[in-house]
Structure 1
Amino acid sequence: MATQFRDTQFGHLIRSVSGNKLFRYPDEIDPSLWKKSHQRDKSSTCARSEEQTNASSKDFDARDTDLEDVSVNDAVEDGNDIYLIDWYGPDDPENPQNWSSSWKFLVGFQICLLNFSFYIASSIYVPGALSIMEDFGVSEIVATLGLSLFTIGYGFGPMLWSPMSEMPKLGRSGIYFWTLFVFVLLQLPTGFAINMPMFLVFRLLSGFFGSPCLATGGATMADIYDPARFAYGICILASFGVCGPVFGPILGGFVAPAKGWRWTIWVFTWLCAFVVVVLFFFLPETSAANILYKRAKRLRNANRDDRLRSQPEIDAAHHTMRDHLIVLGRAFTLTFSEPIVFFMDLYTALLYGVLFTWFESFPLVFGEVYGFDLSQQGLVFLGIFAGGVITVPLFLVWVKYGIILRFTKPTFKPEMVLPPTFFGSASLPICLFWYGWSARKSIHWIMPIIGSSFFIVGIITLFNPVLNYLGIAYPPYAASIFAGNALFRASFGATFPLFVSCRY
Structure 2
Amino acid sequence: MKDIIRDSTVGQLINRVSGGKYLPYADQRPDYRVPACFIPSSTSQTQISSVNDKEISSSTKATTPATDVSPHKSVSLTRINTLVEKSVHDHEKGEVKIEKVVHDPYVVGWNGDDDPENPRNWSFGKRAFTTFSISFLTFSVYIGSAIYTPAIPGIMEAFDVSLPKATLGLTLYVLAYGVGAMFLSPLQELPVLGRNPVYIGGLFIFVLFQLPIAIAKNFSTVLAFRFLTGFFGSPALATGGASLGDIWPIHQLAYVIGIWALGAVAGPIVGPVIGGFPAQANGWRWPIYELIWISGFALVFLALFLPETYEPTILLRRAERLRKLTGNPHLRSQSEIDEASTTASDRLYEALVRPFILAAEPALLFANVYLGFVYAVFYLWFEAFPLVFTDIYHFNLGESGLPFLGFIISGIITYTVYCLYQKYHIAPRYAKAGGAVAPEIRLEIGLMASIFIPTSVLMFGFTSKASIHWIVPVIGAALYLPGIFLNFQSILMYITMAYPNHAASVLAGNDLFRSAIASVFPLFGHAFFKNLGLGPGSALLAGISFLLMPVFFLLYKFGHVLRARSKFAHST
TM-score normalised to structure 2 length: 0.79
Q: Which residue number in structure 2 is paired with residue 497 of structure 1?
A: 522
Between 312-321 and 33-42, report the one with greater CA deviation.
33-42
2:462 to 429, 434, 437: 437
Q: Which residue number in structure 2 is paired with residue 12 of structure 1?
A: 12
Q: 2 CA distance for matches of 1:501 and 1:468?
A: 34
Q: 2 CA distance for matches of 1:500 and 1:405?
A: 44
Q: 2 CA distance for matches of 1:297 and 1:77?
A: 29
Q: Deviations over 1:154-206 (max 9, x none)?
A: 11111112111111111001111111011001011011111111110000001
SS of the residue corresponding to residue 419 of structure 1 reads helix
1:185 to 197, 205, 208: 208
- CA 400–180 in structure 1, closer or farther in 2 if over 3 Å, else same: same
Q: Which residue number in structure 2 is paired with residue 114 of structure 1?
A: 137
Q: 2 CA distance for matches of 1:290 and 1:92?
A: 15
Does residue 293 of structure 1 match 2:316? yes
Superposed displacement of residue 40, structure 1 = 8.0
Superposed displacement of residue 343, structure 1 = 2.1
SS of the residue corresponding to residue 23 of structure 2 reads coil
Residue correspondence of structure 1 range 202-241 to structure 2 within 5 A: 202-241=225-264
SS of the residue corresponding to residue 271 of structure 1 reads helix
C-alpha contact 1:141 1:498 (8 A) present in aligned 2: yes
Q: Which residue number in structure 2 is paired with residue 306 of structure 1?
A: 329
Q: 2 CA distance for matches of 1:39 and 1:148?
A: 50
Q: Which residue number in structure 2 is paired with residue 421 of structure 1?
A: 446
Superposed displacement of residue 147, structure 1 = 0.4
1:258 to 271, 274, 281: 281
1:173 to 186, 196, 214: 196
C-alpha contact 1:218 1:478 (8 A) present in aligned 2: no
1:89 to 112, 126, 146: 112
Q: 1 CA distance for matches of 2:162 and 2:110?
A: 59
Residue correspondence of structure 1 range 374-453 to structure 2 within 5 A: 374-408=397-431, 409-410=433-434, 411-453=436-478
Q: Which residue number in structure 2 is paired with residue 32 of structure 1?
A: 34
- CA 419–90 in structure 1, closer or farther in 2 if over 3 Å, else same: same
TM-score normalised to structure 1 length: 0.89
- CA 156–74 in structure 1, closer or farther in 2 if over 3 Å, else same: farther
Q: 2 CA distance for matches of 1:121 and 1:105?
A: 25
Residue correspondence of structure 1 range 320-339 to structure 2 within 5 A: 320-329=343-352, 332-333=355-356, 335-339=358-362
Superposed displacement of residue 478, structure 1 = 4.5
Q: Which residue number in structure 1 is paired with residue 374 of structure 2?
A: 351
Q: Which residue number in structure 2 is paired with residue 273 of structure 1?
A: 296
Give the residue type in structure 2 aligned to 1:134. Answer: E
SS of the residue corresponding to residue 372 of structure 1 reads coil
- CA 79–106 in structure 1, closer or farther in 2 if over 3 Å, else same: closer
- CA 31–413 in structure 1, closer or farther in 2 if over 3 Å, else same: farther
Superposed displacement of residue 447, structure 1 = 2.1
C-alpha contact 2:392 2:466 (8 A) present in aligned 1: yes
**Which is greater in Rg?**
2
Superposed displacement of residue 406, structure 1 = 3.4
SS of the residue corresponding to residue 466 of structure 2 reads coil
Higher helix residue share: 1
C-alpha contact 1:151 1:494 (8 A) present in aligned 2: yes
- CA 165–252 in structure 1, closer or farther in 2 if over 3 Å, else same: same
Q: 2 CA distance for matches of 1:452 and 1:502?
A: 20
- CA 476–181 in structure 1, closer or farther in 2 if over 3 Å, else same: farther
- CA 225–384 in structure 1, closer or farther in 2 if over 3 Å, else same: same
Where structure 1 has 5 or more consecutive residues not aligned to the other structure, the ranges are 48-53
Q: Deviations over 1:374-426 (max 9, x none)?
A: 12211111222222122221111112222233344323233222211122211
Superposed displacement of residue 140, structure 1 = 0.5
Higher relative contact order (CA 8 A, sep 6+): 1
Q: 2 CA distance for matches of 1:321 and 1:301?
A: 27
C-alpha contact 2:65 2:110 (8 A) present in aligned 1: no
Between 194-203 and 364-373, report the one with greater CA deviation.
364-373
Q: 2 CA distance for matches of 1:181 and 1:461?
A: 32
Compute the RMSD of aligned alpha carbons: 2.8
Q: Deviations over 1:102-155 (max 9, x none)?
A: 110111001111111211111011111000000000000100001001111111
Q: 1 CA distance for matches of 2:5 and 2:61?
A: 24
Identity, in percent, stands at: 41
Superposed displacement of residue 475, structure 1 = 5.0
Between 224-233 and 334-343, report the one with greater CA deviation.
334-343
Give the residue type in structure 1 aligned to 2:455. Answer: I
Q: Deviations over 1:240-274 (max 9, x none)?
A: 11111111111122111001110100001101111
Q: 2 CA distance for matches of 1:297 and 1:237?
A: 33
SS of the residue corresponding to residue 106 of structure 2 reads strand
SS of the residue corresponding to residue 22 of structure 2 reads coil
Between 450-459 and 483-492, report the one with greater CA deviation.
483-492
SS of the residue corresponding to residue 420 of structure 1 reads helix
Superposed displacement of residue 295, structure 1 = 1.8
Q: 1 CA distance for matches of 2:103 and 2:67?
A: 23
C-alpha contact 1:424 1:462 (8 A) present in aligned 2: yes
SS of the residue corresponding to residue 479 of structure 2 reads helix
- CA 319–305 in structure 1, closer or farther in 2 if over 3 Å, else same: same
Q: Which residue number in structure 2 is paired with residue 458 of structure 1?
A: 483
C-alpha contact 1:158 1:487 (8 A) present in aligned 2: yes
Q: 2 CA distance for matches of 1:168 and 1:40?
A: 18
Between 219-228 and 438-447, report the one with greater CA deviation.
438-447
- CA 4–477 in structure 1, closer or farther in 2 if over 3 Å, else same: farther
Superposed displacement of residue 209, structure 1 = 0.6
Q: 1 CA distance for matches of 2:274 and 2:331?
A: 54
Q: Deviations over 1:78-124 (max 9, x none)?
A: 99966322211111111111000111011100111111121111101
Q: Deviations over 1:207-247 (max 9, x none)?
A: 00111110110001101101111100111111111111111
Q: 2 CA distance for matches of 1:212 and 1:77?
A: 41
Q: Deviations over 1:10-41 (max 9, x none)?
A: 21222133222222222344462384444883
- How many residue pairs end up in the alignment? 487
Residue correspondence of structure 1 range 41-190 to structure 2 within 5 A: 41-42=65-66, 63=77, 72=82, 83-190=106-213
Where structure 2 has 5 or more consecutive residues not aligned to the other structure, the ranges are 38-59, 86-98, 532-572
Superposed displacement of residue 326, structure 1 = 2.2
Q: Which residue number in structure 1 is paired with residue 557 of structure 2?
A: none
Q: Which residue number in structure 2 is paired with residue 50 of structure 1?
A: none
Give the residue type in structure 1 aligned to 2:250. Answer: P
